[in-house]
A = this chain, B = another copy of it.
Amino acid sequence: MSKDERTLYFPKASLDRLKIYRRLLTETDSEYISSEDIANKLGINPELVRKDLSYINYKGKPKVGYHVQSLLDELNELFGLKKTTNVIIVGAGHLGRALANFKGFSKYGIKIVGIFDNDPQKINQFVGELVVLPLDYINRVVRRFNVEIGTICVPEEAAQKIADLLVQNGIKAIWNFAPVKLEVSEDIIVVDEDISQSLLTIKHLLERKQLEKAGEK
């Protein structure tokens, strides 16, 4: 791997940790923070923190640590938080409406600019400041607001169809809340937000813990 590529590509696991560091920094009041502080809070070791930060070429100060604000700036830059990105939502059900109403996305430079549904009952209803639009308005909204990200909040049966529709209309990345594996062309980014899957993790961990306890005896 060349030095140049390194700034572009680095381990997926590191990327995930960088996101976590970023969040941690937003919760940090002090001016500086050491790799050890970060590591302790996350239950990992400090060398890993330092290595992750070395990928993005960020330098700390020996004896002091990392300057919280400037590191946060750097990470915000890395994740493109500084520029506003417009997003649309398809499916104005429970989840779609929760997302559309959520104020916190603005911190991430995300703006919801449209919400769509195919249910005539839902169309024209207000959701926060938006009005639910029918699917054939997607094209217009995508062009008008230069939307690259589409969110799928429809039932699983409809998800693939909506994915195709979004791609047809020029969407580049799909944030998918439906619990199905979408089939899209190579160049489309799909990020699955399969909420229920976490329950499997929790159940499994609970079960394992119980086994461990039983084993101790």
Contacts and interface: CB of A to CB of B under 8 A. Distances in A.
Interface of A: 8-9, 15, 19-20, 22-24, 27, 41-42, 78-81, 85, 94-95, 97-99, 101-102, 104-105, 107-110, 148-149, 172-173, 175, 179-181, 187, 189, 191, 193-209, 211-212
Contacts of A205: 173, 189, 191
A-side interface mostly? helix
Contacts of A201: 15, 19, 191
Contact of A94 (B78, B98, B173): B98
A203 B20 CA distance: 15
The 8 A-B pairs at the shortest CB distance, nearest first, are namely A94-B98, A80-B203, A79-B200, A98-B98, A189-B205, A80-B207, A173-B202, A95-B98
B94 A196 contact: no
B85 A94 contact: no
A49 to B, nearest CB: 14
Contacts of A41: 181
